[in-house]
Chain A
Amino acid sequence: MLGFLIQRLLQAVVVMMVISALVFIGVFAVGNPIDVLISPDVTQQIRLDTIAAYGFDKPLWEQYLAFLERLVHGNFGRSFVFNMPVLQLILSRLPATLELTIAAVAGATLIGIPLGMYAGYRPDSPITKAIMGITILGFSVPTFWIGLVLIMTFAVWLGWLPAGGRGDTVMVLGIEWSFLTLNGLSHLFLPALNLSLFKLAMMIRLARAGTREVMLTDTIKFARASGQSDGTILRRHVLRQISIPIVTVFGLEFGSTLAFAVVTETIFSWPGLGKLIIDSIQSLDRPVMVAYLMLIAFLFIIINFLVDIAYAALDPRLRARRS
């Protein structure tokens, strides 16, 4: 197990290096960063000074090494727009995004797995047909469009829920959370629903495919023969066996949900990371863009790492082979 961990950690470091190089080339080498940093009517002297200060006159690989050094020290520079350290800016926005993402993924899992297991258990019932119809819509209809329809229906026509913002927040452990107040919850509901629909469709499909496969195995035949009820079989045997692929997808999808939060946050004016990155792309705030990309890459690598470990922990066959 230890060897496996070390091997995976080394892999993660290599991947992180490759990504940092790509991000560096993508954001710094394309276009001229100096045009963004200073206004076009400054004197030639100020221009040269700024170039020297940021090291743009040095060869690209030297710039890259300096960039890496700054990254390792946690120094992402200052945001041009907010005029504060980028790391601080991102950390202040992170809780809002995490709250939204966790609510969406948890909701999708808690609703999707039972629905999917039912669909796999009774493949021909009309309810299953309806469930599968919903998943096609969930896969096909773009997130931003569902968001618009939700706002239209629940905020404009019915007036039940607010159309945007985070609502009242409560400070716990020095971080503001929405889900602890009633008003905050009402603000959280629509964006979380919007973000979760795609994941819900995916969870249903996965749970259904897994259940259909497992129901045909000898394990289930023996469980039936021993007189266990179908409910017990589904809970005790089927759920346990389909949990491995679901945990994998859960982990991987958590990352892509963070990415899709960009769209949902923009529509619902949710003050999280996604809205920050869209705003900084529009205002060409490069330090924020770089920091966001590196952070997302880092999160993805961590998630992949954790999924691998969870895999090993959940599947006794894999555990035995590795030890």
Chain B
Amino acid sequence: MIDSAAPIARFWFEFRQSQIACVALLIIVLIAALALLSPWIAPQNPYDLATLVLMDARRPPGHVGAGGYVYWLGTDAQGRDLLSAILYGLRISVQIGLAAGAVAFVVGATLGTTAAFLGGRVEMLIMRFIDLQLSFPAILLALVLSALLGQGKVQIIIALVTAQYAYFARTAHGAASAERAKEYVEAALSTPLPSHKVIFRHILPNCLPPLIVVATVQVANSIALEATLSFLGLGLPVTEPSLGTLIANGFQYMLSGRYWISIYPGVALIVLIVAINLVGDQIRDQLNPRLRR
């Protein structure tokens, strides 16, 4: 029998039952490591203009450059090694996805649990607003915000958080409303604890499982959304190219058959997003009480 005192060990034990999820997790860890270490493992610093050779621009994969260096994935319009550009792009995409997901988590969970705790008019007002926001597609909101705020890392994170916190708030509110009625909350309230301690120490930890599921999905979504915005020219500036920017840069060369400039960054993006979604699916199945054996 598996001890219920070690929920993380049990969770991990069940997680290992799914081969697909394990492979996906391995890929995520690998990509995270590549992203973290990209300045040290990339063969070229793609932003150091001195290392770029314009003669080698738009070369196909496997081309041997002027310096005797092999461009395994080809080069882009500025003669940048695509492999290095992708590694650096991954770094930026992962950074933004994690940052936006984390901030949206904090903002949304705080709003949702606080609304459920306070109840009454405040709850109605907050949740009405969130429902209203949820009835609009996140992409439109992010599009308009990043257009208003301009390009840049902080701006895009603000746009993504505004577009996505509502999903966390909705989930946190649902879970916290159920917890609010339970006796342990009554017990905590009867002690002279301040209410923010009851919310964050007692209610919130019990709302975590559904929030974790939302978090994995939303990190994948914010990476995809950022790539889409950058592709449309509204996300990150060309000086800080994420995977979306790389794909956008290659788009104009695609119609002339130079597929690699767009395709390889896209493959990296999709492997990352699909892997996160697969892990998210597995976590959701494990945490869903209706599917529990």
Seen from chain A, the residues whose Cβ lies within 8 Å of a Cβ on chain B are 15, 18-19, 26-27, 30-31, 136-137, 139-145, 148-149, 151-152, 155-156, 163, 252, 255-256, 259-260, 262-263, 266-267, 277-278, 281-282, 289, 293, 296-297, 300, 304
For residue B266, which residues in chain A have a CB less than 8 angstroms away from its CB?
145, 148-149
For residue A139, which residues in chain B have a CB less than 8 angstroms away from its CB?
277
B136 lies within 8 A of chain A by Cβ: yes
B18 to chain A, nearest CB (A): 14
B269 lies within 8 A of chain A by Cβ: yes
Bound complex: CA A9 to CA B254 (Å):
49
A182 to chain B, nearest CB (A): 23
Contact in complex: A266, B220 (CB < 8 Å): no
Nearest A residue to B251, CB-CB: A148
Contact in complex: A152, B254 (CB < 8 Å): yes
B161 lies within 8 A of chain A by Cβ: no
For residue A30, which residues in chain B have a CB less than 8 angstroms away from its CB?
148
Contact in complex: A140, B274 (CB < 8 Å): yes
Contact A300:B232 (CB < 8 A) given known A142-B273, A151-B254: no
For residue A266, which residues in chain B have a CB less than 8 angstroms away from its CB?
232
For residue A148, which residues in chain B have a CB less than 8 angstroms away from its CB?
247, 251, 254, 262-263, 266
B92 to chain A, nearest CB (A): 16
Contact in complex: B137, A259 (CB < 8 Å): yes
B160 lies within 8 A of chain A by Cβ: no
B77 lies within 8 A of chain A by Cβ: no
Nearest B residue to A267, CB-CB: B251
B4 lies within 8 A of chain A by Cβ: no
A255 to chain B, nearest CB (A): 7
B234 lies within 8 A of chain A by Cβ: yes
For residue A26, which residues in chain B have a CB less than 8 angstroms away from its CB?
144-145, 148
Contact in complex: A262, B232 (CB < 8 Å): yes
Seen from chain B, the residues whose Cβ lies within 8 Å of a Cβ on chain A are 132, 135-137, 139-140, 143-145, 147-148, 220, 224, 227-228, 231-234, 247, 251, 254-255, 257, 259, 262-263, 266, 269-270, 273-274, 277-278, 281
Bound complex: CA A45 to CA B211 (Å):
57
Bound complex: CA A259 to CA B140 (Å):
6
For residue B270, which residues in chain A have a CB less than 8 angstroms away from its CB?
140-142, 145
Contact in complex: A260, B139 (CB < 8 Å): yes
B28 to chain A, nearest CB (A): 13
Can you give 9 A-B contacts (C-beta < 8 A)?
A139-B277, A142-B224, A142-B273, A144-B232, A152-B263, A156-B254, A259-B136, A289-B144, A297-B136
Contact in complex: B144, A143 (CB < 8 Å): no
B129 to chain A, nearest CB (A): 8
B13 to chain A, nearest CB (A): 24
Bound complex: CA A237 to CA B277 (Å):
34
Bound complex: CA A48 to CA B282 (Å):
62
Contact in complex: B269, A142 (CB < 8 Å): yes
New A-B pairs, 18, CB < 8 Å, besides A141-B274, A156-B257: A19-B132, A136-B278, A142-B270, A144-B228, A144-B232, A145-B247, A145-B266, A155-B255, A156-B259, A259-B139, A259-B140, A260-B137, A260-B139, A263-B228, A263-B231, A281-B144, A293-B140, A300-B135
Contact in complex: B148, A31 (CB < 8 Å): yes
Contact in complex: B220, A140 (CB < 8 Å): yes
B49 to chain A, nearest CB (A): 26
Contact A141:B139 (CB < 8 A) given known A136-B278, A148-B251: no
For residue B263, which residues in chain A have a CB less than 8 angstroms away from its CB?
148-149, 152
Nearest A residue to B132, CB-CB: A15
B74 to chain A, nearest CB (A): 15
Bound complex: CA A279 to CA B145 (Å):
15
